Amino acid sequence: MARPLLICLVLLAATPASGRVLDSAPDGFTLENSAVVPVTPNAAYAALVNDVGRWWPADHSWFGRAENFSIEARAGGCFCETDGPRQVSHMRIAHVNPGKLLRMLGGLGPLQGMGLHGALDWVFEAVEDGTKITLRYRVGGYTPDSLAEFAPVVDQVQASQLGRLAAFLQRKR
């Protein structure tokens, strides 16, 4: 009984210190979430890329298993989910600067099926207590519904994903 409570407290403590919708309009939005983690920028970047299947939330996958995720950190590489013959290319890698920036392009989750496009930046900055990770997601495109309505929900999902990476790095140190 004490272990689930401890896990919940760790996850809450590691939830990004700040998260917000920077702007939103009918045709797009920009989100930003950040967290400070007690590791170097290179270690944080390595966990993002090499351990995605260990911290990504399984309930935000197509096939229900986080360990099916991989990030091929090279220009043109894939942020993919593979479960045998079932496969999803969630995003394509556009910019790689290890320990500093990883940029992915595409629409996550239901945004992909809506034909929307986004740029997702993972920015790593050395700070006094370790590394500040900033997750910035810019989404745009046409949909008959206003994208401004999606912004707060997507922001919560992004905060959760960054919070899980932060909690993983907290446990790993």
What's 100's DSSP letter? Answer: T
Cα(122)–Cα(34) distance, integer angstroms: 10
What are the strands, taking DSSP E only, across the chain? Answer: 18-25, 28-37, 69-71, 78-83, 86-97, 101-105, 117-127, 130-140
Which one, of 48, 17, 14, 16, lies nearest residue 159 by Cα?
16
pTM exceeding the 0.85 threshold for the entire prediction: yes
User: pLDDT tens string for the chain (173 positions)?
Assistant: 333 323 333 333 444 445 799 999 999 999 999 999 999 999 999 999 999 999 999 998 999 999 999 999 999 999 999 999 999 999 999 999 999 999 999 999 899 999 999 999 999 999 999 999 999 999 999 999 899 999 999 999 999 999 999 999 999 76
Residue with tokens 């899980």: 164
